[in-house]
Structures are given as structure tokens and as C-alpha cells.
Structure 1
Amino acid sequence: MDLSRRTLLTGTAVAAAGPALARDDAPPAVLVSTWDFGAPANAAGHAVRLAGGSALDMVEAGARVAEADETNASVGLGGFPDREGHVTLDAVIMNGRGDMGAVCALEDIVHAVSVARRVMEATPHVILVGEGARAFALEQGFDTTPLLTPESEAAWRRWLETSNYAPRANSENTDWPGGASDHDTIGILGIDAQGRMAGACTTSGMAFKMRGRVGDSPIPGAGLSVDDEVGAATGTGVGEDILRVSGAHAVVEAMRAGLDPGAACRRVIERLARLRGDKIADHQVALLALDRQGRAGGFALRPGFTYAVTDAAGQTRLVRAESLFS
């Protein structure tokens, strides 16, 4: 069975303008993004599309929504800090023609995705990190903002009482898998009215990580890959695992070889499972893809991953992805 079709047939529409449809009947997507909070991100990106914005403008606008949401403890403002209490942000943005920019371990700047875009457009480099990234952002006129909110600081201080540092699948879940509190990175992929593609990925990283840790999210080819000839992909979950298989790039290359987005995501998840075996027994990894025809699909290592799909009319459905393991 076509795995993308199966995902949409059997996936649960958890908050949608209508029921999930079979892929052959669903309108082409113009925006997809990870997790349930992808819906408001997609809405912002779609508004930019209607105003004539480019795919790059669309995904940046969507990512900025998540970055500014203080209730989102894993992206931007209000993100959980590292072990030493510092909130550090990672982000990447790219178009489908090889232009890209990224920042790692950025402090005191809410919109890391916009700094990443400025790296792409105003420097000869792809990635700036740490103090260099912060200095560049200030030179470019970005305002500084304390990123550690009282809520995130309180969570960090509770963590200090146990200091039990162990990544767990869907570790932020407090209601049901895929719910508003079950999330991490936002990855967003878009197609503009001219058929050009772009993507962005932004995160505050793994909660209570070692200082200086960087996962897959800001790394081109790992957390994000975009190719106008084929499509785009992004990842979420334990970044170290996605890095090991160059997750997003592997998905795009699987689509280039002829697989649809859902099947391409599944192939890479299966490869990761074979590679790592019991070493990822408690991890969550999920991949999401959008091809140039507007077909969307996702697949996860374990249950709980949802993604938002928005068509050209602005209708959005949330899909709960299938997973390799129950």
C-alpha cells in the first residue's frame, strides 16, 4: 500500500477544517509543519503567500510564530534552558536552489530564524555560532530579549533537583501524544505561487542539554533539506539520531529515487532503526516531507507525532503520523 495514502487514510484528524482525506482526493499542500502548533505557523505563512510573498517569506513568517510563543517550551522565547540555565537557540532556513543560512547556540535573540536568513543573505557563510552569531545579529539590528521565562526557569530548577538527563520519546507530553504540550522543534516547508520551495527549522534544543550541544535542527541536510527539483523534508525528535542518518537529505534523495513523501520518510526511519537498534529504545524521531507536486507525508519511530497540512485555500488539517513501533 502507498504509505502516504495510508497515513492520511488511517491517521487521525485531531483538529481540522474537515476530515483527513485520501491523498488522491486531497488538495495539494502549500505548507506543512511539525506538531500541533504547526497550524498557527501555517496560517501565518499562508497569509504571506496570499500577499505575494515568496516561499522563503512564508516559512520564515511561520517559524517566527512558534519562536514568539512563550508557552512553547522548546522553540524560541520561553524555551527550556541548558543544564546551566542558559536558553540557546538553533535555526536554519533555505530555499530550493542551494541558498541557506543557519545559527547555532544563539542567545538573547528571539527570532533565530530571521538571523539565519540574514546569514544567508548578508554573508558568504552558511553557519554562525555562539558569540559570533549573537554579535552578527546585533550588528544587523536585532533587539535583545531575555529568553528564560519564569515558567522555564522554574522547570529548570525542578530538574536540578534530580539532574536526570535522559532523552525520552515525547518527554514533554502531559495530556495525549501529539497534544499541545508534546513537541519540540518546529520544521516548516512551503511552496509559493511560482512553485518555488523553501524550508525553515528552529528550536531551543533538547531540554537541559549540555552547554554547547547542537542537534540536527540547524544543520543543512540533517534537520532540513530543500530541493526545487524534488521536494523538501525536515525532522524532529532526538537530533543526535537524525544526524546519524542525515535524515532530511536522505528523505529528499528517497523522493528523488521515486518514493512518495510518506514512503520516503518511512524508509529513513527504518534505516535508523536497523542502524541503532536498542540504543534508540526510548527515543522519538519523526520526519516530514513535501514534494514539488504538493504531496505531504510523515512517519515516526514511535506514536505521538502530528503534523499540519495547509492547502492553497488556507484549509488546514492535522494528521497523526503512523509509526514504526507502537
Structure 2
Amino acid sequence: MATDEFEALRALLPADAAQRLSSLRLVDGVATLVLDASGLDARQRVALETGVTKVLEREGDINEVRVAMTADREGGAQAGDPGKLAMPRIIAVGSGKGGVGKSTLSVNLAVALARLGLKVGLVDADIYGPSQARLLGTEDEKPVAHDKRLVPIASRWGVPVLSMAHLTKAGQALAWRGPMAAGALTQLLEAHWEDADVLVVDLPPGTGDVQLTILHKFKPAGAVIVSTPQDLALIDATRAVELFAKGKVPVLGLVENMSGYICPHCGEESDPFGCGGAEAEADRLGIAFLGRIPLDIAIRKQSDAGVPVAAGQGAQADAFAALAARVRDSLEAVAPASGGAA
């Protein structure tokens, strides 16, 4: 964007927003802003974002407004810092597209990490399509608040969880724009997670508002990218890798999900989505390959029943245990634990 165009758009913003503006891009009708939200509480941040969005949406050449906010808490606050929340290390689990089994992988990764001895929390950041309440068998639970912050819901698998499914009626569609989704995400992430060593965050598919918010406001310690072996999924997974790289978040590695299917009747193995594509792509991108998770009906059935396979025994649980060990080791290499807070 040219300097004069930048200044013209900046001049449209409310005075407070203009002073807090860090960057502004306009590409193909999409305006992306980064604002410094230091010193603002959650309600003030939402008000700031809403005001900016309303102003820019009046411009004829802007079709969409995306707002990300940063604060002086970059990388997570240390316990004991006055006025700041102590945040555990965040592992963001993302994908470039939907339908690759990211949510199922997220919950089983969280449970497998807990079985390795870590204190793990799980945040369902898919605001519009939450599924972690079902996957952990906590659909009928509602969180309480303490000191104006949510208290995570305990699960019988040792992993506390928060999801929009816990805060809305079953099946309710959320027709929310970016600022409201970002505010909801903030509420989930700024809950009482002080006891957790690691927070696994199940991101929605794609590279939109929620991803921008978590990148610029909460700064994950590392990211795990999920893909199936097929070429189309790998193309989109590459976009997710690029997003985290641009946000200076270490990519812990790529997981090949739905990799290989063993017929329960004849025992023959087949590869309906292909095999080895994610490993080859990880090698091309210069990132770690974290392993393969099979396409197995047991994973689907137990997920629907709210019983993560990683909590049990067998080949499926072993696959997630191996994945969790690699993720743990990669996380320690880039963001060692420090008193339970990143």
C-alpha cells in the first residue's frame, strides 16, 4: 500500500484507533489492521475493534475488515507480573481447510500429552463450529465465572476444556462478525488456566480472524499443522504453515491424518486418501514430520461417544502417544517450560 493511501485510510479512523494503529494493509478489498491494545480490558478492545470495522466498511473499495490486536503481554505473561495474566504455553493446532480431522486430533493430542505427565488444557477456538464439548463428553456442562473470568470445565480424561458449545444452546448458529468472534476467543483464552503447563488450541480451518487474533494477541509457543495425504489438503496446509511462519510462531511439525485404512473384515490395508504426501511436503518445507494417524472407524465411534481413543489402549492410542511425545520434545526445544507459564 502506498504511503498516501495508508494515511488516507488512517485519517478515517477514530482518534484513539489511529494512535494505536501499528499496520494497515489493503489487498483485494480486504483491509487488515494491527492495533496496539495495551491497557485495554476485553470490553474496550471489542469496542475499539467494532468502531474501526464500522468506519472502514463504509468505504466502497473495502469488502472485508480484519482486525488483530497486540499488547505488552507478547509471548505470554510471567506469573507474578502485576496487572498481567499468567498464560501457559500455547500449542495451536491448525489446518488450511476443513474436513481433515483437526478437532479429533486436537483432543487426542491433549489427552495423550496429559498421559505423558503434562498439565494440559484444551480451548475450542472454532467459534462457529465448536466440537470439543462433544469430543470430551462435556456437552451438558456450563462454566462458572470467578473474578470475571471463566473457570474451565473438568473432563473425566484429565483435560479441562472451554468451548463456545458450553456457552450457547445446542445447535445454535452464531451469526457473529470478526470483533465478536475475537472477543469470544479472548474470553476462552483468558480463563483460569493458571494450573496448566500447556494449552492446546483447536483453531478453525483457514487463515482468518481467529488465527490473526491468536497470532498477534496470544502468540502461541508453537503450531501443529494437520493435513490428509491428498494434494488439495496439502496445498491448503502449506498456507497454514506460511501464516504461522509470518507470525514468527515456530511450526512444530506436520501430521498426516487419515493415513491408511485397514479393512476390519479382510485385514487388507488401503490408502483412500493416498499415503506419504504430508511427509514429502514437510521435507519440502523444511519442517518436522510428526507422524501418521490412521483412518480407523474406532476413532470415529469413540469420538462421537465422547471417549478419546488416546485415553485407552491399542494401535490408535499408541499412534497418538507417539505424536504427543514428538510434539512435547519439539515444544521443549523451542519454548522450554518455565514455572508452568510461557
Larger radius of gyration: 2
TM-score range, shorter chain: under 0.3
Higher relative contact order (CA 8 A, sep 6+): 1
User: Could you tell me the TM-score, scaled by structure 1's length?
Assistant: 0.27
